[in-house]
């Protein structure tokens, strides 16, 4: 029996593997339809090619989808396009809602309200856009040109409980921001150790980030025990993307 179909929406190539690589690998191994959307970087860029290899390592069955906005810190990541944080909100929501209606996921996964561990502004904006798009996709009168409405059953926010923040800081360094939520807000704690090798391989596929010493580089440099401690558990907050209006939910 396959699990619910899963669409992961993250800000940059590599966020999908770091924040939800175990969930994606587990879902794909169970035969569930899985796909990844990256809000930034243009198709054909080095980071987009690395993302394609990462999702292959995770077993994700579909090629990655890119909204194609520029990274807030790398304007040249999408020539001719605005930075995600500067783009018109309705335009970005419409673009993501279109992907949700096309893929028709049961579950959508994205960053938490802090923007995950690092609090990057693109992460925070992706959280906002995904919440709006997950609801808008189920409303028939919004964006009718984007296809028949579809309401995901659940939205999961990838996060970290405050109880593990100190341990994470030991790995990523004291000078880097590490955000967490109160432990009682965590609704799902997922042991992804059976898929750890796939998750690590996916993170390592983001070679440019490994080489510049970003989080994938820290993972590459960490001893195996520290790497396992950092990556073997994934935490999520479940919330509702709806409700949609009566009659706006697509058939299952």
Residue-wise pLDDT for 1-35, tens only, equals 467 899 999 999 999 999 999 999 999 999 999 99
Mean pLDDT over residues 179-202, rounded? 96
Domains and CATH numbers, the chain: 6-239 (3.40.50.10320)
pLDDT given at position 176: 65
- Nearest-CA neighbor of 213 among 175, 156, 166? 175
Q: What are phi and psi of 70, to 5 degrees?
A: -85, 145
Q: How far apart are CA 142 and CA 11, in angstroms?
A: 24
DSSP code per residue over 113-172: TT-TTTT-HHHHHHHHHHHHHHHHTT-TTSSGGG-S----SEEEEEE-BGGGHHHHHHHH
Residue-wise pLDDT for 206-243, tens only, equals 999 999 988 889 888 888 888 898 899 999 999 988 75
Starting at the earlier edge strand, list the strands of the sheet with 188-191: 65-69, 34-40, 6-10, 107-111, 154-159, 233-239, 188-191
């Amino acid at each position: 029996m396959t699990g619910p179909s899963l669409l992961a929406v993250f800000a940059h190539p590599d966020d999908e593997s770091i924040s939800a690589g175990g969930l994606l690998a587990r879902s794909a191994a169970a035969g569930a339809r899985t796909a990844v959307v990256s809000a930034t970087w243009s198709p054909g860029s080095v980071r987009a090619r690395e993302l394609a290899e990462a999702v292959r390592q995770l077993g994700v069955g579909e090629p990655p989808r890119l909204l194609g906005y520029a990274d807030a810190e790398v304007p040249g990541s999408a020539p001719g396009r605005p930075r995600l944080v500067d783009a018109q909100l309705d335009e970005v929501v419409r673009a993501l809602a279109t992907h949700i209606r096309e893929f028709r996921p049961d579950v959508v996964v994205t960053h938490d309200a802090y923007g995950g561990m690092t609090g990057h502004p693109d992460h925070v904006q992706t959280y906002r856009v995904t919440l709006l798009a997950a609801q808008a996709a189920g409303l028939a009168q919004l964006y009718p040109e984007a296809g028949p409405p579809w309401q995901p059953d659940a939205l999961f926010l990838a996060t970290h409980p405050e109880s593990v923040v100190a341990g994470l800081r030991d790995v990523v360094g004291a000078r880097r921001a590490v955000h967490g939520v109160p432990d009682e807000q965590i609704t799902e704690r997922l042991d992804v150790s059976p898929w750890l090798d796939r998750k690590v391989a996916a993170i390592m596929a983001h070679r440019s980030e490994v080489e510049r010493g970003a989080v994938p580089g820290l993972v590459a440099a960490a001893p195996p025990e520290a790497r396992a401690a950092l990556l073997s558990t994934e935490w999520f907050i479940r919330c509702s993307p709806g409700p949609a209006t009566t009659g706006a939910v697509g058939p299952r």
